[in-house]
Amino acid sequence: MSATETSTHLRENPLSLARVQLARVGETFGVDSNLIGVLKSCKKSVEVSIPVLMDNGSVRVFDGYRVIHNVTRGPAKGGIRYHPNVTHEEVKALAMGMTWKCALMSLPFGGAKGGVICDPKELSAGELERLTRRYTTEIINEIGPEKDIPAPDVGTSAQVMAWIFDTYSMNVGHSVLGVVTGKPLALGGSVGRDGATARGVLYCIRTALQKEGRRFPDTRVAIQGFGTVGRNLARLLAEEGARIVALSDSGGAVVNSYGIDVAAAIVHKAEHGVLRGLPGTEEATNDDLLESDCDVLVLAALEQAVNADNAGRIRAHMVCEAANGPTTPGGDEILEDRGILVLPDALAGAGGVVVSYFEWVQGLQEYFWKEYEVNAKLNDIVVRAFEETWSTRERFGTSMRMAAYGLAVQRVAEATTTRGLYP
């Protein structure tokens, strides 16, 4: 994964937005305001400083966070982000989002997130390893297979997860496969984890198209973001016969209304680090991509890409949120008023955490599944959550987002009430 942006992508405070969203869900679904008050806050938040010996002999100190939002339904689960624009409030908002995502998928997990303010692209492999091992050591009392299980997010990779696994295991004196997911296959990773988020997106778009009587071969797709999620999704969609008309990364967009050769785009990006200059395409800006003429727009980059300023110009009839929080509430309202179907992050972006759950289960059992089993079980869970969200949307006459969050918040609220308030 990559992290490249230097100016922040956050236009509004993500935690405030998450809380506004939660309050709206509470009102729409009649959830007890005391419970909404509890769920507005994160259960635990750790802020650490991470001194790292740099290759030039100096010591640089990085700031990091690990936030657990809720553990009512099971141990906390959530990725670790390495990015220069990470903020504590962003990590809290992302942790809350993980609680809803896990609940919507009916996984026995709560929500968490971690982040370190750094640009992994500027660090050598040795610096990245030392940073990761020290960060893990600083949060070692918080994480564990029964407590909080990290995973990759923007700027972190399977290799980073391997260092976390090793650091934790060395400290407790034996290998603990269940401490982290998104590990390399050689260290108890799950087959299908790398492409899992993209696969979950694919299943959601397919089910949504079926509801409209459409199929992939009639569908033109634009994808913002060409990292782990965007790249894998472009490949899967092309295999299904969809026409990929625009792609982008932080360096800009490439477009071809007749269809982009995705395999060539993957090779070009691997060789040049950017999509720009891909033969057979025209260059465009990231804004152009969002507003391009397509049927489905997939947001697979960072937060707040679609907002009140640009939502009025989006031409897709379906917006699919593979990323976390890529649409602000202001942007969302405009999309809804315009009748654009939005597949929300809690639903569309959940494939990764579902297969992380499978990896955790396999690690605890030390028994590993075949790829077709992983993909079939992923399809079952994502399509079931899609159908539950769709029928809730119809029953309450609301948006897919409100229906997804409504289902999730109600599940967490029910678990909280049933457990009772301790002491």
Residues annotated catalytic, as ranges: 113
Size of the site for ligand NAD (CB under 6 A): 29
Bridge partners for 61 per DSSP: 51
Using Cβ positions, the residue closest to ligand NAD within the complex turns out to be: 227
Task: At 257, list the tokens.
Answer: 């209304």
Residue whose C-alpha is closest to residue 226's, from 382, 378, 4: 4
CB within 8 Å of 202: residues ≥ 6 apart: 233, 236, 237, 240
Q: Does 228 bind ligand NAD (CB under 6 A)?
A: yes
Could you tell me if 283 and 253 are in contact, meaning their C-beta atoms sit under 8 angstroms apart? yes
Q: Does 352 bind ligand NAD (CB under 6 A)?
A: yes
Could you tell me if 350 and 101 are in contact, meaning their C-beta atoms sit under 8 angstroms apart? yes
Could you tell me if 297 and 220 are in contact, meaning their C-beta atoms sit under 8 angstroms apart? no
Task: At 217, list the tokens.
Answer: 């071969």
Q: Does 281 bind ligand NAD (CB under 6 A)?
A: no
CB of 32 to ligand NAD, least distance (A): 30
Q: Does 226 bind ligand NAD (CB under 6 A)?
A: yes
Task: At 117, list the tokens.
Answer: 């303010």
Q: Does 78 bind ligand NAD (CB under 6 A)?
A: no
**Pairwise CA distance, residues 216 & 179, whole Å:** 38
**Pairwise CA distance, residues 56 & 414, whole Å:** 54
User: Rounded to whole angstroms, what are the CA distances from 68 to 18, 44, 50, 64, 76?
Assistant: 15, 5, 19, 14, 6
Residue whose C-alpha is closest to residue 168's, from 138, 192, 189: 138
CB of 339 to ligand NAD, least distance (A): 25
Return the number of the residue (75 or 182) whose C-beta is nearest ligand NAD: 182
Return the number of the residue (302 or 342) whose C-beta is nearest ligand NAD: 302
Q: Does 389 bind ligand NAD (CB under 6 A)?
A: no
CB of 9 to ligand NAD, least distance (A): 6
CB of 67 to ligand NAD, least distance (A): 14
Q: Does 110 bind ligand NAD (CB under 6 A)?
A: no
Supply φ then ψ for residue 13, to 5 degrees. -70, 115
CB of 289 to ligand NAD, least distance (A): 7
CB within 8 Å of 388: residues ≥ 6 apart: 407
Q: Does 209 bind ligand NAD (CB under 6 A)?
A: no
Taking contact as CB under 6 A, which single stretch among the options 203-211, 218-226, 255-263, 376-384 is the one that binds ligand NAD? 218-226
* DSSP conformation class of 327: B
Strands 243-249 and 252-255: antiparallel
Q: According to CB under 6 A, which residues from 177 to 206 bind ligand NAD?
A: 197
Taking contact as CB under 6 A, which single stretch among the options 136-144, 223-231, 367-375, 378-386 is the one that binds ligand NAD? 223-231
**The only residue of 52, 116, 158, 300 in contact with ligand NAD, by rule CB under 6 A:** 300
**The only residue of 324, 328, 362, 379 in contact with ligand NAD, by rule CB under 6 A:** 324
Residue whose C-alpha is closest to residue 1's, from 62, 81, 78: 81
**The only residue of 102, 143, 322, 407 in contact with ligand NAD, by rule CB under 6 A:** 322
Q: According to CB under 6 A, which residues from 153 to 182 bind ligand NAD?
A: 153-155
- Chain residues binding ligand NAD by CB under 6 A are 1-5, 152-155, 197, 224-230, 248-250, 286, 300-302, 322-324, 349, 352
